[in-house]
Amino acid sequence: MNRPLIIPRTLKGFRDHLPAPAMAREALLETARRVYRSYGFSPIDTPALEYTEVLLGKGGDESDKQLFRFTDQGGRDVALRFDLTVPFARFAAQHINDLAVPFKRYHLAPVWRGENTHRGRYREFIQCDFDTIGTDSNAADIETLLVIHDLVSAIGFERFRIQVNNRLVLNGLLEILGLIDRSSAVLRALDKLHKIGAEGVAAELAERAGASPEQSDRVLEFARLTGSPESVLTTLEGWLKGNATGELGIARLRELFTVAQHAGIPAERLALDVSIARGLDYYTGTIYETFLLDDPKIGSICSGGRYDNLAELFTSQKLPGVGASLGLDRLLAAMESFGMISASATPAPVLVVHFDSQHMPEYIRIGRTLRAAGIATEVFPDAKGVGKQLKYADRKGFALALIAGETEFAQGVWQLKDLRAGTQTTLPEADLAQAIHAALQQAPAKPAG
């Protein structure tokens, strides 16, 4: 009796990664590692599953609703991590005696959130986090800004803007307005300003934060402040004069912009946006969001902030932290729309054509020779027709093909075919590696005719 076939399909919000986009993703991960390491961040890893109590309540009501939560075989209440920051706080509290403080880490790994899906947003996605824990120095906040800038620039973007704010500034306003005990509801409402507009935020402030019309108007007036960083900070100084919390936030922002300018960050790539609230409850200070100017609708591609109290949920030791995360999948969606992702589905630029089965040892040998010379090379396994092998090469995106049969072996030469340009040259084996390196470094010539 034949068993029915299982229909191959993926869950909503989850996806398979074919070679070309997977290679683009790996390239981004390699860039992130390189930039993070250049600032002295060290790699760590944590389990995908955590005890639910570790995750619950750390990101707010929305994050709690989005947890993939279940009881495991041992009867334990567990959940998949929804970000990498909360597990890092648990990690730091558990291992702090084995770490030098301040501790700088990066972590590139998948996270899971049961949220609605749309362009660039999935239920399983990779985060590329970097954090500094164990210091409340504003220098760490400023370095976080520099890392974000260097990372986005290293990926290949020129037109982007990092928008910053400081939760202390908003908290100072809420203290003055008598709303500080309802700050979580205010923050979540304010974080939706660009999605639901001022009227929608006002309605949510009234419903969820119990704000009066006067209080809502003041919060929205604050969020709509625009202008140069200096002009906005000057206005805020007048509004928050005498409030220690707000004044500290203003001072830290002013220092951030001064040092960023001194460090050579272009002014057009950095802006003060007091409407940024970042919905996660654990942020306490500087917050960051990064937007591509040519595709702002994709949303923030690199976000984060300071969280001074998160680790204290796991330890009595004071472990303030600050960090950010690259939105890898969202960024890949933008790069695809900009034509920045190669269609190539192979990491090897050279294919050795298996022209004659009797010479299979020679094909394998030349592959090893080229790899020893630093050239990634694939040897086709079967002695099929040359046309079929070249069709395979074209489909996978090889740049070059090496072809040799009885005549070439007798003469000690190889045919080097540039698959991009359609040109072909005959070369002695001793010259192959140099010729291939040169061909891969230059743009392909257009075929004649």
Q: Which CATH number does the domain housing residue 90 bear?
A: 3.30.930.10
- CA angle 98–88–131, rounded 5-degree value: 90
Residue 12: inside a domain? no
Report which of residues 107 and 187 the model is more confident about: 107
The pLDDT tens digits of the residues spanning 129-181 come to: 999 999 999 999 999 999 999 999 999 999 999 999 999 999 999 999 999 98
pLDDT higher than 70, residue 120: no
**Intra-chain end-to-end CA distance of the chain, in Å:** 60
Output the pLDDT for position 280. Answer: 64
The pLDDT tens digits of the residues spanning 10-26 come to: 999 899 989 988 999 99
Contacts 24+ apart (CB under 8 A), 311-314: 311/89, 311/92, 311/93, 311/133, 313/58, 313/89, 314/54, 314/89, 314/90, 314/93, 314/94
Please give the distance of CA 290 from its chain centroid, rounded to a whole number: 11
What number of residues does the chain have? 449
Output the pLDDT for position 445. Answer: 45
Mean pLDDT in residue range 100-113: 95
User: What global pTM score does this model have?
Assistant: 0.87
Output the pLDDT for position 77. Answer: 96
Residue 84: inside a domain? yes
Output the pLDDT for position 344. Answer: 86
Q: Which CATH number does the domain housing residue 379 bear?
A: 3.40.50.800
Pair (74, 121) in one structural domain: yes
| CA–CA separation, 291 and 298 (whole Å) | 8
Output the pLDDT for position 117. Answer: 77
Residue 11: inside a domain? no
Last residue of a domain, one of 337, 364, 394: 337
Pair (142, 279) in one structural domain: yes
Pair (105, 209) in one structural domain: yes
Report which of residues 350 and 182 the model is more confident about: 350
- Percent pLDDT > 70 in the chain is 96
Residue 389: inside a domain? yes
- Percent pLDDT > 90 in the chain is 73
Pair (296, 230) in one structural domain: yes
The pLDDT tens digits of the residues spanning 196-210 come to: 888 898 898 998 889
Pair (118, 151) in one structural domain: yes
Backbone angles phi, psi at 193, to 5 degrees: -55, -45
Pair (130, 225) in one structural domain: yes
Residue 160: inside a domain? yes
- Residue 298: other Cβ atoms inside 10 A: 19
pLDDT higher than 80, residue 85: yes
| CA–CA separation, 343 and 429 (whole Å) | 30
Domain range for 402:
350-441
pLDDT higher than 90, residue 80: yes
- CA angle 40–325–246, rounded 5-degree value: 95
The pLDDT tens digits of the residues spanning 375-412 come to: 999 999 999 999 999 999 999 999 999 999 999 999 99
Pair (368, 309) in one structural domain: no
Last residue of a domain, one of 337, 366, 389: 337
The DSSP-derived string for 393-440 is HHHHT-SEEEE--HHHHHHTEEEEEETTTTEEEEEEGGGHHHHHHHHH
Output the pLDDT for position 296. Answer: 82
Pair (326, 356) in one structural domain: no
Q: How confident is the model at residue 263 (pLDDT cuts 50, 70, 90)?
A: very high
Q: What residues contact residue 163 under an 8 Å CB cut-off, 6+ apart? A: 271, 272, 273, 276, 288, 289, 290, 291
At position 403, the amino acid (one-letter code) is: I
Which tokens hold the place of 311?
A: 């680790």
The pLDDT tens digits of the residues spanning 172-183 come to: 999 999 999 888
pLDDT higher than 60, residue 448: no
Pair (96, 61) in one structural domain: yes
Q: How confident is the model at residue 316 (pLDDT cuts 50, 70, 90)?
A: confident
Last residue of a domain, one of 287, 313, 337: 337
Output the pLDDT for position 444. Answer: 52
Residue 253 Cα distances to 135, 169, 248, 271, 287, angstroms = 17, 9, 9, 11, 10
Pair (115, 250) in one structural domain: yes
Q: How confident is the model at residue 443 (pLDDT cuts 50, 70, 90)?
A: low
Helix (H) or strand (E) holding 201, with range, is: helix 193-208
Pair (257, 378) in one structural domain: no
Mean pLDDT in residue range 291-300: 89
Please give the distance of CA 115 from its chain centroid, rounded to a whole number: 18
Mean model confidence pLDDT for the chain: 92
Mean pLDDT in residue range 84-110: 93
Output the pLDDT for position 215. Answer: 92
Mean pLDDT in residue range 423-443: 93
Report which of residues 120 and 432 the model is more confident about: 432
Please give the distance of CA 294 from its chain centroid, rounded to a whole number: 18
pLDDT higher than 80, residue 60: no
Residue 6: inside a domain? no
Overall number of domains in the chain:
2
Please give the distance of CA 118 from its chain centroid, rounded to a whole number: 17
Residue 5: inside a domain? no
Backbone angles phi, psi at 402, to 5 degrees: -105, 130
Residue 447: inside a domain? no
Contact call for residues 289 and 304 (beta carbons, < 8 A): no
Pair (199, 222) in one structural domain: yes
pLDDT higher than 50, residue 446: no
| CA–CA separation, 219 and 235 (whole Å) | 14
